Amino acid sequence: MTFFTSDEPQQTIVKEVVYKGVGLHTGNMCRLAFRPAPEDTGVVFVRADLASRPVLPATFRIVSSVVRGTTLSLGGEKDHQVRVHTVEHVLSALSGLGIDNLVVEVNANEPPVADGSALPFIKTLQSAGLQKQNKPRRYFQPEACEYKAGEAFYRVEPAEELVLETTIDFNHRLIGRQTYEYHHNTENYIRDVAPARTFCFDYEVEALKKQGLAMGGSLDNAVVVGMDRIHNKEKSLRFPDEFARHKTLDLLGDLSLLGVPLRAKITAARVGHGHNINLVKQLAAQWSANHFHIDLEDDKTWTKS
């Protein structure tokens, strides 16, 4: 297990850019402002609609819900008065572009769902331009480990790059078993992962709304799967394995809550937000169980003390 200080610089964006839309689960309209941030800031969400403008760092430590999305909260276990719901698509886009430091200001409690993918966020951020910064990016290369819970299974192996092999298996003729392997870089992400949309089954929609979820969902921002057809307006998928690719998109966003990019191969089956966050916690436990310091004789590597 090692931390690497790479030759790559940290990145932010050149200027503020804005995206507006409706939240998937809350149905609330939201103005999403992406703003440049200094080195070593990481990604932080700011609730601009609240008087105190509370700041929620993008970290697994404040994940409060993983029901149909990943929610960050401040305020304790019982009330969670300050929340930002469904952050994974935004975080996935930032990871895909290699953005390390950013302020994400929201004027509601959930970012826009856009078209159900990360592509609109990618286009908005690209319009701002990327800015290389003066400090290097650090990576975490974990030791081999596994996570199992029910039918979910994740295997982590150290590697020289981040590789995600994601398998889903639905007893449905339009989905079935799909496996997608993703090698993490910006070109691959924009072309192969960012356009993949979130999905649900048509029979779930009414039940989700009764739970107060999917209040902003529509055929414009999700792939709705019926017994024998796709209900969204295009009546088709963007990729034959769009469902597995979207699960990869979600996994990448959730993994970013570790707070440091990974050099690992992760083989994952029957993934979901809860399992993703549990895996992040397991990786963080590796980190905290071993005390690291910067080796002054070789500042390219963080070594175990």
Residue 98, helix vs strand vs coil: coil
- Start-end of H helices in the chain: 76-79, 88-97, 119-128, 186-188, 205-210, 242-255, 273-289
* pLDDT of res. 35: 98
Domain range holding 96?
2-304
Who contacts 56 (Cβ-Cβ below 8 Å, separation ≥6)? 44, 45, 46, 47, 62, 72, 73, 74, 82, 84
DSSP summary character for residue 299: T
pLDDT digits (tens, 9 = 90+) for 45-103: 999 999 999 999 999 999 999 988 999 999 754 445 799 999 999 999 999 999 999 99
Report the number of distinct structural domains present in the chain. Answer: 1
- By the 8 A CB rule, do 15 and 31 touch? no
| Average pLDDT rounded to a whole number, residues 100-108 | 96
| Residue 231's CATH number | 3.30.1700.10
Among positive and negative, which fits the CA dihedral 149, 153, 158, 159? negative
Cα separation of 229 and 125, whole Å?
34
Percent of the chain beyond pLDDT 90? 69
89 is catalytic: no
Which amino acid is residue 46, in one-letter code? V
- Tokens representing 259 are 């707070």
* pLDDT of res. 299: 38
Given the residues 183, 273, 291, 293, select the one marked as catalytic. Answer: 273
pTM of the entire predicted model: 0.90
Mean residue pLDDT across the chain: 88
Higher pLDDT, 254 or 204: 254
Higher pLDDT, 185 or 24: 185
pLDDT digits (tens, 9 = 90+) for 110-153: 899 899 999 999 999 999 999 999 999 999 999 999 999 999 99
